[in-house]
Structure 1
Amino acid sequence: MADSNFKIKPVKQGKKIVLTLECRTHDDKWISLGYLQPKVIVSGLDTLKLDIFTPKVEWHEYAKKGRSMILTGNDGIARIKTGIHFHSQDILRIETRISFSRPVCLEIAKDNLTLPDFNIDSSWTPHQTPLQEMLIGDMVFRSPGVIVQDADRVLGVFPNLRTLRKNRTIPYAMNFSVRSKEISFGCVPYKLSKNTYLIHNEDDTINVPRSTVSYSYYIYFKSGCLKNEGYRHVVHRMGQLNFSIQSKNASAQKVTFEKYCDYAGKYSVKQLQKDNIALHFALQTAFGSALLSKRKNEPIPAEVENIIKSALTTPQKNGLFKVMRQDNKWINGSVFSNMPPRYKDESVRLADLSNVCYFLCRFYNEIEKKHEILNFVTVYAERLILLQKHGGHIPAWVNYETGKSQRFCNKSAEVSVHTTFLSELAKIKPEKRYLSCARRAANFIIHKIYQTGRWENTELFYTTSPQWKYKKPKRKDGIQESYSVSVHAIRNAADALLKLYNLTGTSRYLRFGEKILAQLSLYQQIWQPPFIDLPCSGGFGSMNTDIQWLDSVQSLSAKTYFDYYKNTGKKEYFTRGIAALRASFVLMNCPENEEFLAQIKDMGEIDKGYIFPYCFPSVNRDKIILPEAEDFNFASGQALCVTEEILNEYGDLYVDTKRRKAFGINGLKVKKVESDLAGLAVYGEDFLGKARTISVKTDTGILFTSKIKKSSQFEIQV
């Protein structure tokens, strides 16, 4: 059972058998990586959980069967059967079934992979486990797996999601420890702690009738990887094995994106009328509303003009300004009401200010060239440059009155937002100091954030998963030796480097941007879990310290993936982007989302077009858990803005004539692309069941329309 560089073989240890994992070295020798063995803790329902009553579930015999190996063992009431299957040159599939001859009380049924000969230089897991009793439960299995790297060798363990979805009678869980060099996966009952972590204690058991429990997973191995970049290979293979299955099911999109945008647009305009606003959210919403009006050839709503005016008349103090308006008064702080007074009452968050100025620049470039916009953002940009420190970082929070930088997140991933703003400003005013500041900030992202994995921002510590003793800035998880991670911070960095690359042509920014994008992909939902009765594939989690699904970062990520495809031609990026875009409207209150309406029918009156920013799976597997409806909702405006950008730039059907590829975006599936004498023939089908006129956009900028019939196949010549 060996391929070119990876094999597994049985070894007798007394009466039991363990499986050793070996790899081939550069000089063609085989060396050990570690060993694999089961760990099962069960007892009869009528007996104490003592050694004399607990069966020892071990492998005792093995037999080869073609390219597979079968291991078996039997001890009293329990029988184990494990199949090791050669899946491909770099992947083995392990399937274990444990049968019980009578009802039992089960605490653990899992496999442990111990890697004593693997020097772990870097690692990744989907969820932190700072305490010994914590684990990585299937509630956070968005892109589930554990990845470890030793020099140029990477090893990944990830669940077989097909089996998990079909056979989840008992919760599944993984775990990982750097110190013990142990990775585990199997059936483990667990419960929720602090609303964000998952724990298993000895008394967490489940009664299993006379039946069988099973679990299945993959082991991936590859050598010759670049230092600390092996995760890129694993995320690609995980996507191939699981995400491609879900791409065949486009059920997340129930209606055209134009219809979703109509709902979001009407809701957003009403939100812009409110006295209490967060200016950075309001401007993104206003920009999306302006794009919607532009697409429909309608006048821009007065509410949009009023928000622009409100932003431009906000008082500036040495370039700084306030973004929170309450009771017709501008106040300090941001949307994080649980922050200490020195932040929420005395300081402003620079990322919010840069977001405001970024969208003002977008208005200037794409909607209307108002000189007031340029004056406002230039004053702020000059102050931002002065605030940049040696090394390229910019503090996250600044006292509005004194201008003094605050310590919290002062060297964090929030600097990405400033790179994005300055890159946009440099399009209008191509001055060296703007570009220099953006470059220095980008270098800080590359060297101090990406290289260390410290994806921290304010949201990470002051939203649904607040900081506590074992979750603080610049502090690692003591078991996994990883930092807390904000997915928004990763997305912002990937987007910032791509924008700077497009502005400067410096290939280094694209190269590192792709590395960061691969880390973003590790938090994308690549399957449909059995414990959430809504389409999930393509959505995102928000951080590695909570259990959120379908987070609003998915809409932003969609555009980022599309743009990376445009610059690289990698099909996987566009596929991920389409899935993220479709997931962006799953939590919208609209008539077409019937599955979701059933989930919120008891929540009272909720405006049509409102998108919940995230959801939690329920431990009891009943309805999902949703946050209370917010006074000013950003998820609707964000999804509106991004979707209008995508429709404008990529159309309903995007055809890349240079690379001979095509992608169905808006309720369309592309089946094949063929070359003929006339150019390219694109074959596909509509899955929304509505006759309509679609827009076709090409990489050369050509835009044309085509009529398609209801639920029919189509052929379009380009």
Structure 2
Amino acid sequence: MMTTVSALLHDRDSTRVRLGRRLQSFVKAIEIDPLGGAAPHLSVERIDEHATRVSIRFELDRRVEADDWRARVSPAFEPSLHWSPHLTPTDRHVVDRHCFRSPALLAADDRRVLALVPDLDAMTRREGVPWYLDLNAEDRELTIGMSETEPDEAAHVLFAKRPGAAHAEGTVEVAFYLLAFEDASVAANPWRPILRFLWERWGAGAFRASAASGSSLTTMVGRAYRWAFRSWESAVWQRLELDGEQVGAAAFIVNVTQSPNYPGPVNEREFRSIWNQAWFSSLRTAHGMFRHGVATGDEALVRRAEQTKRLALAAPRRAGFFPAVLATEMEQATLTDGTIVNRSRGWDTAYWGNSNRNPVAPWRSVKGAPYHVLDMSWTALWMLRWYEELERDEALLAYAVEYADALLPLQRGDGFFPAWLDYDSLRPLDVLADSPESSASATFLFKLAELTGEERYAASALRALDAVARDVVPHGRWEDFETYWSCSPFGGDRVGRKFERNDMYKQCNFSMFWTAEACKAAHAASGEARYLELGERCLDEMLMTQASWQPPYVPIDAVGGFGVMNGDAEWNDARQSLFAELILEYGELLDREEYIERGLAALRASFVMMYCPENPKTKAQWEAKYPFFDEKDYGFMMENYGHNGRVGERGLGIGEFSIFDWGAGAAAEAYLRIRAHRPELLQRYGW
């Protein structure tokens, strides 16, 4: 028989366990499944004014097979906001512990906030059936449970329960914290107290121990450039001539078959190309190359950085708009043993195109792909940063001004910029025409207004950000190109619609980052405190995708690293190198030590996937997967870990490719940018 624990003392049908009068307006009941016929032993401990720990313990006198066990918390109010780390669109889906980066379930209205946070100490104290979370907004239930699970590969990557769970004889405990607040200011940003609780209890200590371990980030920066431009130079560095000018950049992607140690033939994973796009920005990584080359007197590295800058400026403009990808034609070759491999036909076959992560072009094709406004604004922003911080190349400013003057007429009456322009007609497409991708264009326009003094750019930026603040932020509608048109197409038929069971959209943290960055720029431009408050909310929602602890079942350093979205499974994704400085900037603006530590943790996590002696746990994983790796491969870095939803020893969770612009080069650029802007923060830990 299910046990019901009620916060109301007069409920005669409930077990007489007192949750406390203060929780009466937050918790209606907690329903607890039996386990093998054993009744639960409950204990309730008040931690402080807002936190209560609930422990559910079973004493089993035999091994118990139970495919699923649950405890369900029912809020006593009607929530208008829900949040979960991962989508669970049906009753068979769960939030697997693989997604426990900052694990919590949230229900809130305009003044009350209730969060369920699993006790991570209790979860990892004893090996047993894995824990999970689940959010059923339709039935108003926050669930913590135990079950065996598996990735639902058809959805890439959701998780589903599977049979076979068995509990060993002895004590089985599930424990969680209930955080409850009745405060309109907390309800305006309900993620803040959850993040603080997680960081104070688990994250800070794990980060400080990792930061004091002595790993040298400067050594790993050097390894990034030696790998790309020495030991792997023939695969990574691409030289070509455009309009009589020598240009170059790092290849979009290389894989393990291109290692100098690989015993077989080279088989290129994707078409050989160079990108200046929101993920893979060769211009951004060239910033790091330029800084490092100047600092170390490496004229060859500075020359490569300048060639990459010139390649970005060589992108041909159409009415101010420009492409994001330069690619070569590919061919397949059949070797003497019958093996078929992919090879480039060389840069003599080069052509311009746009990102193939879009809703209209054939999958993996950049030819004829629509112009992506986000990619153009992002590239133009990095042109302005180069102009402002590295060298006053007037060609960069002129290019950005021409693009901005084409961008402004695209702005819709509601303030948004469209996401894509038809390749042939340059007319805006309807898909994501009112998305938070507009925030990146706002940040670009704020910077251009600052550099030129042209107020019209800032006015347009404010209109765009106000549209995102009005129509996106309150609803968690964090939909962008990566949400649906990357490796996780699940939900692509629901663009603009929530999953009813979770009361959530499919969300990507990239949109949260762009908006938090735009809010910071708006605050600087306008002086209005509301933009800083809005930015803090967006940043905190983004930080709910950061690892606030070190799971013992993740065999690499994970604290501070980021996931991507609520429909995918990555740990330590390369975006953390992009996010790190923004977190630090908010830490300084708000005088918040937690943000400083989280930003530094994100920076440290940016290097964790690098194959090198400074990352002994990761190095062991690489060598288990690819025994031929040796010192010639130091610097090779996968963009993330555990992408398919499973990790473990012997290389499970390790990938096969490396993207300089979304891996080692991006991490190096982030470190060098932060060292240039705020060296005192790096000096704390001898970085």
TM range (shorter): 0.7 to 0.9
Q: Tell me the residue number matched to 2:512.
A: 490
Q: Tell me the residue number matched to 1:676.
A: none
Q: Does 1:40 align with 2:66?
A: no
Cα pair 2:621 2:654 within 8 Å, conserved = no
Q: Tell me the residue number matched to 1:248.
A: 208
Q: Which has the larger share of helix?
A: 2
Which among 273, 276, 299 is matched to residue 276 of structure 1? 273
Q: Distance in 2 between matches of 1:489 and 1:32?
A: 31
State the AA in 2 paired with 1:640: A
State the AA in 1 paired with 2:283: L
Q: Tell me the residue number matched to 1:294.
A: 294
Q: Does 1:200 align with 2:161?
A: yes
Cα pair 1:334 1:349 within 8 Å, conserved = yes
Q: How does 1:389-400 map to 2 (within 5 A)?
A: 389-400=412-423
Distance 1:584 1:239, change over 3 A: same
Distance 1:306 1:334, change over 3 A: same
Q: Distance in 2 between matches of 1:252 and 1:334?
A: 40
Q: How does 1:338-357 map to 2 (within 5 A)?
A: 340-341=361-362, 344-346=366-368, 347-357=370-380
Which among 588, 606, 611 is matched to residue 637 of structure 2? 611
Q: Does 1:417 align with 2:440?
A: yes
Q: Tell me the residue number matched to 2:305.
A: 304
SS in 2 for 1:248: helix
Q: Tell me the residue number matched to 2:15.
A: 17
RMSD: 2.5
Q: Does 1:474 align with 2:489?
A: no
Cα pair 2:50 2:180 within 8 Å, conserved = yes
Which among 124, 143, 148 is matched to residue 189 of structure 1? 148
Q: Does 1:124 align with 2:83?
A: yes
Q: Tell me the residue number matched to 2:138.
A: 179
In structure 2, the gaps of 5 or more residues are: 1-5, 239-250, 252-271, 329-346
State the AA in 2 paired with 1:474: G
User: What CA deviation, in whole Å up to 9, does each residue of 1:195-242 have, x standing for no partner?
Assistant: 4111125xx132233222221110111112235433323332232222
User: What CA deviation, in whole Å up to 9, does each residue of 1:598-642 have, x standing for no partner?
Assistant: 111133558432322111176474444133304664222221211
Q: Tell me the residue number matched to 1:69.
A: none
Please, which moves more after superposition, 538-547 or 370-379?
370-379
Distance 1:149 1:597, change over 3 A: same
Cα pair 2:18 2:44 within 8 Å, conserved = no
Q: Distance in 1 between matches of 2:529 and 2:228?
A: 38
User: What CA deviation, in whole Å up to 9, does each residue of 1:486-520 have, x standing for no partner?
Assistant: 11111121112112322332322212111111111
SS in 2 for 1:369: coil
Q: Tell me the residue number matched to 2:266.
A: none
Q: Distance in 2 between matches of 1:32 and 1:286?
A: 52
Distance 1:12 1:123, change over 3 A: closer
Cα pair 2:560 2:602 within 8 Å, conserved = yes
Distance 1:229 1:301, change over 3 A: closer
CA deviation after TM superposition for structure 1 residue 400, in Å: 2.8
SS in 2 for 1:422: helix
Cα pair 1:252 1:536 within 8 Å, conserved = no
CA deviation after TM superposition for structure 1 residue 11, in Å: 6.2
Distance 1:242 1:562, change over 3 A: same
Please, which moves more after superposition, 410-419 or 163-172?
163-172
Which is greater in Rg?
A: 1
CA deviation after TM superposition for structure 1 residue 166, in Å: 2.2
CA deviation after TM superposition for structure 1 residue 462, in Å: 2.0
Q: Distance in 2 between matches of 1:172 and 1:252?
A: 31
Aligned sequence identity (%):
23
SS in 2 for 1:93: strand
User: What CA deviation, in whole Å up to 9, does each residue of 1:52-102 have, x standing for no partner?
Assistant: xxx2xxxxxxxxxxxxxxxxxxxxxx2532221121111111122212212
SS in 1 for 2:106: strand
Q: Distance in 1 between matches of 2:20 and 2:80?
A: 19
User: What CA deviation, in whole Å up to 9, does each residue of 1:142-191 have, x standing for no partner?
Assistant: 00011111331111110111122222421101111112111111322222
Q: Distance in 2 between matches of 1:599 and 1:206?
A: 28
Distance 1:268 1:385, change over 3 A: farther
CA deviation after TM superposition for structure 1 residue 523, in Å: 1.1
Q: How does 1:140-155 map to 2 (within 5 A)?
A: 140-155=99-114
Cα pair 1:11 1:18 within 8 Å, conserved = no
CA deviation after TM superposition for structure 1 residue 572, in Å: 1.5
Distance 1:324 1:563, change over 3 A: same
Q: Tell me the residue number matched to 1:428.
A: 451
Cα pair 2:220 2:607 within 8 Å, conserved = yes
Q: Tell me the residue number matched to 1:442.
A: 465
SS in 1 for 2:34: strand
Q: Tell me the residue number matched to 1:156.
A: 115
CA deviation after TM superposition for structure 1 residue 402, in Å: 0.7
Q: How many residues align?
A: 610
Q: How does 1:582-597 map to 2 (within 5 A)?
A: 582-597=604-619
Q: Does 1:558 align with 2:591?
A: no
User: What CA deviation, in whole Å up to 9, does each residue of 1:402-454 have, x standing for no partner?
Assistant: 11112222211111211121222223211012111211111122111112211
Q: Which has the larger share of strand?
A: 1
Q: Does 1:628 align with 2:652?
A: no
Which among 89, 93, 96 is matched to residue 134 of structure 1? 93
Which among 671, 676, 680 is matched to residue 643 of structure 1? 671
Q: Tell me the residue number matched to 2:351.
A: 330
